[in-house]
A and B are shown apart, each in its own frame.
Chain A
């Protein structure tokens, strides 16, 4: 999604108050943005705490700062700067974390971000965006850029099947339709299930929903989805995030508050460490986030 990000930000760079800060990352990807922005492109060096506070101050001065790094370096190291300097002051700084979830795969757990939006959504005045497809990135940049709130954008990579027609961006989308129980997946993980679910007969095929904006207070679930859950009394949620603080717990609370009872199966990032390292696909499989595991889970949930 970096190419799409760069294109979207180059477009935004026409606005004279836009500024971009990187924690010394983006080589072979963000050079067009550097060229477009000139001195408003700031390589803040390997110093994320300072970078976040500088961005907060730029926003306070009326500029439009966007901050970029590998996802964990973007939020975990400088969490206090995000909390105190951005969120407490309700400043519109946009944080872009590349390679969310297990995106940096075999690079190891220091480079993974599987508690990112859960941690950040404990803060006030902040919204998280998890684009599902490459084509979403432009719309996400526009949407986040138009919001007065701070934003965390978790970038992954487009993983949809080659023959799949990507629907226009929306914070909630039904990617696959069927009469089976609903499956909700967060961000690009949703696109990895499309092929397996499309292969199922429509009578048992789940409806696959993708959510791309959090928290639910700012992006409530669509009525059609809630009606499916209420009618079937079961659902499955998949997210490349640890269980604690993740989307599923927020969604379960939402259902309870709205008087909707349902059995929930959760697929999530099970661990920061495994015995062996591997790619994003390998780690998803270790976590039970792969399509085969989803199909087994759906079979368990289905009536005998």
Chain B
């Protein structure tokens, strides 16, 4: 896949990106930071290293829009000034991805259970038009409680959409508790492995594991379960339910930035 510009990520760059993500949420007084921090490594890697000009990305877990915007910023596709408008009046950067206006945002998402179908349709569109293009879709783990997500998986596998990669942010926490306590599918990979897809389970915060998993080509859809930590990178947020929602106060913000170091 031809790429216009590749910015290889390292730990320092990722810490910078995390800090920008946290600052954006702090300055806008916005919560949902936990699920953004579990997804940011994958999104940053996709937009900086993996996505070529023909490729598309669909954020099915639309509540991680902040991570998407910051990943676009890290790849030079969204300005710092734009990030400063996040969640404010007259912004393009809504709390969930908008339908129009941002390069790299294909669909408005936010209601769970839509993104995988949209990604599958995009992948099928490439095939029907005999065009090359890879499609990547990031779902949450709680989102697999939506029946439409399974409809989409059946469709993608039946049509052997080899240009589709499904990523599952498996951080084990959802809106009002742990996925295992609410509507458990544990272990999720066991439910998925009966489908005709290429299933991988990796550490979703390990860049080399992500690179390797994304480089694996097979003639069927790929599904990568990303074992992640909600609130990853900030000790007092990690695996804590309240950071699914809470905004940061000044003390939280200073502690978080301090933990992420001087990068």
Contact = CB atoms under 8 A, between A and B. Distances in A.
B108 A84 contact: yes
Contact of A63 (B114, B129, B158): B129
B126 A61 contact: yes
Interface stretch (B19-27, B149-157, B217-225, B252-260): B149-157
A47 interface: yes
Contacts of A84: 108-109, 111, 114
Interface string A32-55: 000000011010110101101111
Interface residues of B, number: 27
B51 interface: no
A19 interface: yes
Given A57-B125, A84-B114, A88-B99, A50 B106 contact: no
A62 interface: yes
Interface in A70-85: 80-81, 84-85
A47 B124 contact: no
A63 B125 contact: yes
The size bracket of the interface on A is 20 to 34
B121 interface: yes
A61 B118 contact: no
Given A57-B121, A85-B118, A63 B128 contact: yes
Contact of A57 (B100, B113, B124, B147): B124
A138 B125 CA distance: 26
Nearest to A39: B128
A47 B121 CA distance: 14
A297 B158 CA distance: 55
Contacts of B155: 44-45, 47, 50, 54
B122 interface: yes
B137 to A, nearest CB: 11
B179 interface: no
Interface string A79-105: 011001100111000000000000000
A157 interface: no
A2 interface: no
B108 A56 contact: no
B173 interface: no
Interface of B: 99-100, 106-109, 111, 113-114, 117-122, 124-126, 128-129, 147-148, 151-152, 154-155, 158
23 contacts: A40-B128, A45-B151, A45-B154, A45-B158, A47-B148, A47-B154, A49-B117, A50-B117, A50-B120, A53-B148, A54-B152, A54-B155, A57-B119, A57-B120, A60-B125, A61-B125, A62-B125, A80-B111, A80-B114, A81-B114, A81-B148, A85-B114, A89-B108
